[in-house]
């Protein structure tokens, strides 16, 4: 007989800016190191420089975009909440 399944715990919230910043810094450090040793890399492995460059660029984009997205979602949720409370909106609960 198997034990009863427990419900899944709620997801943990992380600090988006900290996580994005640490990962972006890691890609930036990798980019600097790869650029420093670029001449010693075999030609077949130089694509790693582009991986680090793209990771850095995407991290910077995320660092700017994620807070904007969260603010936008928060405002939309607030508008929906206010619309539900207004009489005559057709969605009285």
Q: Is residue 50 part of a domain?
A: yes
**1-59 confidence digits (pLDDT tens):** 677 788 988 988 888 889 999 999 999 999 999 999 999 999 999 999 999 999 999 99
Q: Is residue 6 part of a domain?
A: no
Number of domains in the chain: 1
Helix 16-36 × helix 47-85 angle, to 10°: 170
- pTM here is 0.70
Domain that holds residue 54: 45-85
What 3 state SS string does 11-75 have? CCCCCHHHHHHHHHHHHHHHHHHHHHCHHHCCHHHCHHHHHHHHHHHHHHHHHHHHHHHHHHHHH
Q: Is residue 49 part of a domain?
A: yes
């Amino acid at each position: 007989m198997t034990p009863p399944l427990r419900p899944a715990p709620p997801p943990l919230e992380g600090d988006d800016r900290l996580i994005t910043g640490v990962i972006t810094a890691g890609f930036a450090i990798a980019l600097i190191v790869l650029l420093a040793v670029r001449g010693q890399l075999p030609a077949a492995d130089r694509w790693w420089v582009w991986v680090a460059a793209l990771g850095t660029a995407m991290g910077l984009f995320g660092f700017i975009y994620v807070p904007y997205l969260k603010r936008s979602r928060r405002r939309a949720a607030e508008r929906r909440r206010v619309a539900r409370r207004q009489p005559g909106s057709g969605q009285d609960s």
